Structure 1
Amino acid sequence: MPVYFLLTEAHGPDRIKIGRAKSVEARRRALQTGNPDLLKLVGYIKSKDDVRLEADLHREFHDKRGDLGEWFHLEPADILPVLQRFHGAAFVGKTSNAFAITGHDKDGIPEFVGVWEWGDLSHEDCCPFCGCLGGLHFQEASWMYHCLACDALTNFEEDESEPPEA
C-alpha cells in the first residue's frame, strides 16, 4: 500500500500529512471534503511494508509534528529527499500540464512547465508521464526514452501529454 504525502498550504506554515491508503487519490478526495484548504499530492512511495514505513517516517519527522496527529510542519523540499531514497518505488504528485510550453530558450528549444510543482526535475530524474522518480532511460536501440514504471516510450519530438496505451 502506498505511503503518501499531502500538502495543505493553510494560513501559516505549510503542513504535510504522512499517511497510507490503498488509493492515494481517493484518500485525498476524502480528506478534502469539508476542508477549506486545497490539498495537493506531494508524492507517494509504493511499499510492501507500508505500516513500518509510515511509522519510520513519523519518527524521522517527530520534531516537526504538528498538533493534528499525522500532520507535520514540512515543505515539499523536505519530502523530496525521502522520495529520492526510494527511487523507482517513489512517485511525485505531477502537475497536470507537465508538457505545457512556457517559452523557448536562446536556442529555440521549448521549455516546459515541468513535472513537479515544487522543484525542477528533469526527465532523467522523474518520468513526466507517471511521476516515477526512476526517471526515463535512454535506449540506444530505438533512440527513445523509456519509463520502467509506466512503460512510456518517447523521443520528445511530438506533443505527448498521455503515456502510450499498454
Structure 2
Amino acid sequence: MLAVQMAWSLLEAEHRHMRAMLDEAVMLAGQGGGTCHAATARRVLPLLDELEAFDKATHRPKGLTMLGTMKGRSAAADLHLDAMASARARADAALMHAKALLKAAADGDILAQSTCQSLLSGYREVLLQQMDEEETLLRRHAESVLTQEEWSLLVSEMSSRLAAARPPPASKDGGASH
C-alpha cells in the first residue's frame, strides 16, 4: 500500500508542477486581451519548452513504465490506455501547433497573434483532461491490476529516473577542485 501511495504522490506532484506551468503560460498569453503580442509570445515560448522538456524527460518515462506493466492485464484497462495514448498524441500535436503559432506571433504575424491565446487555452484543456484521467481512471485500473511487488518495482524505477533527472549537487566551494 505504501508503494502505491508513493507512486501516485510522485505523479500528482509532477501534475501540479505541469498545471502551474500551463496556467502561467495561458495567463501570460491572455494579457493582451485576446491578442498575444510579439513580446508576450517570446515570454510564453520558453515556458512551453520547459513544460515539454519536463514532460518528456521526467514525467512521461514514469507513466510509460507503469503503462507497460499494465498492458494486457485487463481488456477494459487496455481500451482506456489506448484512448489515453491517442489523447496524448493529440495533445502533443496541439503543443507543436501552439509553439509554431507562438513563434510566428513572436515574429510579428498578426493572424498568429490573434489566435495563439485561444489555441494555447485549448492545449491546456486537453492536457488538463489527460492528467485528470491519469489521476482517476488510470489510477483505478492500475490499482486493480498491479500487485504489491509490481508497485514496489515501479516506485524503485520511478525513484531511479527521478535521481537520474536531477543535476548533481554543486560543491560547497563553487565547483572548483583543489
TM-score w.r.t. length of structure 2: 0.24
Higher relative contact order (CA 8 A, sep 6+): 2
TM-score w.r.t. length of structure 1: 0.25
Q: Hey, which of these two has a bigger chunk of strand by percent?
A: 1
Q: Hey, which of these two has a bigger chunk of helix by percent?
A: 2
- Point out the structure with max Rg over C-alpha: 2
